[in-house]
A and B are shown apart, each in its own frame.
Chain A
Amino acid sequence: MRRPLSFVTLLVLLVGYAIMPGTASSHREAPLIGNDPQADNTDLYAFVSPDAPDTVTMIASYIPFEDPAGGPNFYRFGDSVLYEIKIDNNGDGVEDITYQFRFTSQVVNPNTFLYATGPITALDSPNRNMYQTYTVTRIENGKTVFTAGPMRTMYDNIGPASTPNYGGNGSGIYEFRQADGLVGRVFAGQTDDPFFLDLRVFDLLYGGNLSEAGTDSLAGFNVHSIAIQVPKSSLKASSPIIGIWATASRPATTTRASGTEASTGSFVQVSRLGMPLVNEVVIPVGQKDKWNGSIPSGDGQFLSYVTDPEVPKLLQLVYGIQAPATPRNDLVQVFLTGVPGLNQPAGVKASEMLRLNTDILPTASPARLGVLAADIQGFPNGRRLTDDVIDITLQAAVGVLGGVKTSLGDGVDRNDVAFRTTFPYLAFPHSGGNPWKLNPNPPKGH
């Protein structure tokens, strides 16, 4: 029997999809608490290039704990993130030069989520289904002086089937000519995580096992890194000492955008990194959000966390170890001003950044304890990949710069894989075809 068209059916014919009620039935409950690995700057390095001593190499890494076999949502730089490396070359705490990096995701075949549709044997292989292009822009005192690109990121190390002979089919290194006519080099893409430490130093009070200290918590993990190498002469001003920090920013949107216009406001800084461990160890938990949005020239507000640090006081309170007298001007030099005669610019304004004296030439055999081992090319004069910043910072905290003798450390002295000897120096990313890498804390010996 044929039923007459009901009211609802008529409505369907007339307005289509709108018939299903209840689209506004419940409130949205958008996810609230999450993290933002694409804008999470894990480490910053800056050093005079060992094989090209008239240049400086700067490296910033993002996306912590990349599981090498992390498909199907493979890691990439944020398309909407503004990545910046900033340089202060006169010690006033304000950037004079900025390198900006902007990424754009590209898809060859939008009908598949596969990263590779066949073996990738070149950066521009048609089998590389998802890739990113990027540009490098240099800004001097607020003015753009050039933009280079688009270039392609180095592809991820998926495994021997998708990315055979990794590293042998294109390096991902590009040269670019600056406005001053000098040539720079740049790399962006997946690499091994160059940092090495036992992360449990931050976790022990929550139930960690102290007897296991000495394992590199980051062994086997990858990150995404941006590396740039430019002639010293295009970075420094009258002083050879430059201050370097990296930021990540996201564009703000506003609720009141009128009409149908999409409006995106200015960029808001969501991460900041100069010296290692500052956010983890120096800045208290309740101040971290404030710190990530702050700028070096305003660092006076955080000064007391450096001059009057908790660590030595706790040592004295809990373990009876004598704390050095405060204020800790030795730590102010390490974290905020640079050390006089080494990497402190004249008339420096106390502000947290990595300070590098570009006149100090590379040492043939770098010492892992850097300046503490009389190797003045190393940390805290800039930071090389091999510098053991955990041990150096722990030793500085108990007053080694004031003459205290100590051999403190976390038991992890070097990276799990060897660094390369040429730009970008970072080790190749761990392959997704390596099953033990899935273990976040692999046993010692690997």
Chain B
Amino acid sequence: MRRLFTPSTIVSIAIIAAVAAMVAVANWRDVRRSRAVFSRPLASGTRGAGTKREDLSARIVDVRARVAARPDDIGLAVTLADALVRQTRITGNTGLAIEAEAALTRALVADPGNYDANRELGSLLLSQHRFREAVSAGEKNRDARPYDAINYGIIGDGHLELGEYDQAFAAFDKMMSLRPSAASYARVAYARELQGNLTGAVESMTLAADATAPEDAEALAWHHAQVGDLYLRLGKLHEADAAYVASSHAFPGHPFAMTGYARLLAARGERSSALALLQELAKTAPTPDLAARTGDLLESLGRHDEAERQYALAESGWRVDAPEPKNLARFLAEHDRKIPEAVAIAEKAASERRDIFTEDALAWAYFKAGRLSAAREAIAQALRTGSKDADIHAHAKAIEAATGQAAAR
């Protein structure tokens, strides 16, 4: 039998510990991390941190309890925040982002320079639609580790949502030049889509799906669903169908796949089936957006009263959806409800960000308020990237037609 502590074992253990210490110290040297013994952060979708529905839920329960016991353990806080960000996406529960931020902030008190935590915080700020802060956080982290492509993703996402497209696209191109990955392919795909290049978007989003780890079921489902949405926009229903099926296979019932598939069914004229799918989704991931979509389907089926109930749900939901006021503005305008309020909300949103969807909401609110020249100005901004978004173009067409009529009078 081998004795546990011979002199050579002790030296071995010392060496082994020193090797590990070197890795940790190198990290510490870079960002002045704490010397305390903490857990290593575990990113969702990596080994031991699967992102199937049950894996995510179980991890959140487990890590939440451990964070409560060790609120200063920064690795645990990062792990929890990362899992909560993923959970937000599949439940639509934005309150989880607040919990994630609280955990990170608490842990950062002892070690404000911790790189992993600050990077996670950047992505969390995006989740909360605090885009300007996300850009600053991303820039700070980029200065700490200029070769980490993730930081350019955070910077680019922030600029993109603020409508600063040149800066956003430059950040995505830099991200790609550092490391082509699922994350960078997906961002390039969205940039292409925003510029009206749907074929190129499909190409890059397909690469994103191909580059996603099989353990990361949620991300895999997300990328496949995006491919489906793009095919749907191109009118390629067969290809869209296959992409949604692949998405559901990876992560049964992923909200993006279900919503997309419902749209596909509606496009095929199977509106009752589409409705059933959305109602099923409402059981696990109810959102104002889902209620509005459900309302539209009900309306199209002639079930006016039920549609009205869904619209009321959507409106009340969006009233508390602080990060996205433009959604409420757009909804109110779309459904001819409280137009003056829609204008006020959209104007406030546009004072903070000038992305094409906020401009579109503003244009449509102005249009419904009869303020044609303001509507024309805003819709021109919404069209500035060359996006082929069907709603923006429908609004532009209506505004143009009304302008023509006004001129003819």
* Chain A interfacial positions (CB closer than 8 Å to B): 3, 6, 8-9, 12, 15-39, 64-65, 70, 72-75, 78-80, 110, 113, 200-208, 210-211, 213, 250-264, 268, 270, 280-281, 284-287, 289-290, 292-293, 309-312, 314-315, 318-319, 321, 394, 397-398, 406-411, 440
Contact = CB atoms under 8 A, between A and B. Distances in A.
B250 A73 contact: yes
B25 A21 contact: no
A9 B19 contact: no
Contacts of B148: 289
5 contacts: A6-B302, A27-B160, A30-B222, A210-B16, A284-B29
- The 6 A-B residue pairs whose C-beta atoms are closest, nearest first, are A284-B26, A17-B267, A286-B30, A255-B191, A250-B180, A73-B214
Which of under 10, 10 to 19, 20 to 34, or 35 or more describes the interface residues of B? 35 or more
B243 to A, nearest CB: 12
Nearest to A64: B47
Nearest to B14: A319
Contact of B180 (A35, A268, A398): A268
Contact of A206 (B39, B43, B179): B39
A22 to B, nearest CB: 5
Contacts of B4: 211
A151 to B, nearest CB: 21
Nearest to B11: A408
B85 to A, nearest CB: 8
B357 A24 contact: yes
B408 interface: no
B14 A315 contact: yes
B20 A23 contact: no
B325 to A, nearest CB: 12
A397 B12 CA distance: 12
Most buried by B among A17, A18, A287, A321: A17
Contacts of B89: 29
Contact of A314 (B18, B197, B212): B18
Interface string B251-267: 00000000000111011
Interface string B109-138: 000000100010001001101000000000
B23 A78 contact: no
Given A20-B293, A205-B20, A257 B192 contact: yes
Contacts of B157: 27-30, 32
B362 interface: no
A349 B203 CA distance: 41
A110 B243 CA distance: 12
Nearest to B180: A250
Given A205-B17, A286-B26, A252 B264 contact: no
A230 B311 CA distance: 69
Contacts of B264: 17
A70 B266 contact: no
Contact of A255 (B16, B129, B172, B183): B172
A310 B26 contact: yes
Contacts of B190: 28, 30
Given A24-B357, A394-B19, A33 B211 contact: no
Given A22-B327, A394-B19, A29 B220 contact: no
Interface of B: 4, 8, 11-27, 29-31, 37-40, 43-48, 75, 82, 86, 89, 115, 119, 123, 126-127, 129, 144-145, 147-150, 153-154, 157, 160-161, 169, 172-173, 176-183, 185-192, 195, 197-200, 202-204, 207-208, 210-220, 222-223, 226, 229, 232, 242, 249-250, 262-264, 266-267, 271, 289, 292-293, 296-297, 299-300, 302, 304, 324, 327, 330-331, 334, 357, 360, 389-392, 394
Given A205-B17, A255-B192, A70 B180 contact: no
Contacts of B262: 20
B249 A113 contact: yes
A196 to B, nearest CB: 15
B80 to A, nearest CB: 14
A202 B207 contact: no
A253 B183 contact: no
B183 A32 contact: yes
Given A204-B17, A205-B24, A33 B179 contact: no
B187 A30 contact: yes
Contacts of B153: 32
Given A18-B394, A24-B389, A289 B232 contact: no
Contacts of A289: 145, 147-149, 178-179
Given A18-B390, A252-B177, 20 more contacts: A16-B266, A18-B391, A20-B266, A22-B292, A23-B389, A25-B324, A27-B129, A28-B186, A31-B219, A34-B219, A36-B213, A38-B213, A72-B249, A205-B17, A261-B199, A268-B178, A287-B26, A289-B145, A394-B19, A406-B11
B92 to A, nearest CB: 9
Contact of B391 (A21, A73, A309, A310): A21
B266 A17 contact: yes
Nearest to B187: A30
A321 B11 contact: yes
A6 B299 contact: yes
Nearest to A310: B22
B242 A78 contact: no
B268 to A, nearest CB: 9
A411 B9 CA distance: 9
Contacts of B48: 440
A264 B16 contact: no
Contacts of A253: 176, 180, 185, 188-189, 200, 203-204, 207
Nearest to A294: B147
A34 B213 contact: yes
A34 B22 contact: no
Contacts of A24: 357, 360, 389, 391-392
A17 B210 CA distance: 27
B20 A35 contact: no
A394 B15 contact: yes
Nearest to B78: A33
Given A36-B182, A286-B27, A8 B300 contact: yes
A80 B210 contact: yes
Contacts of A257: 192, 197, 200
Contacts of B8: 407-408
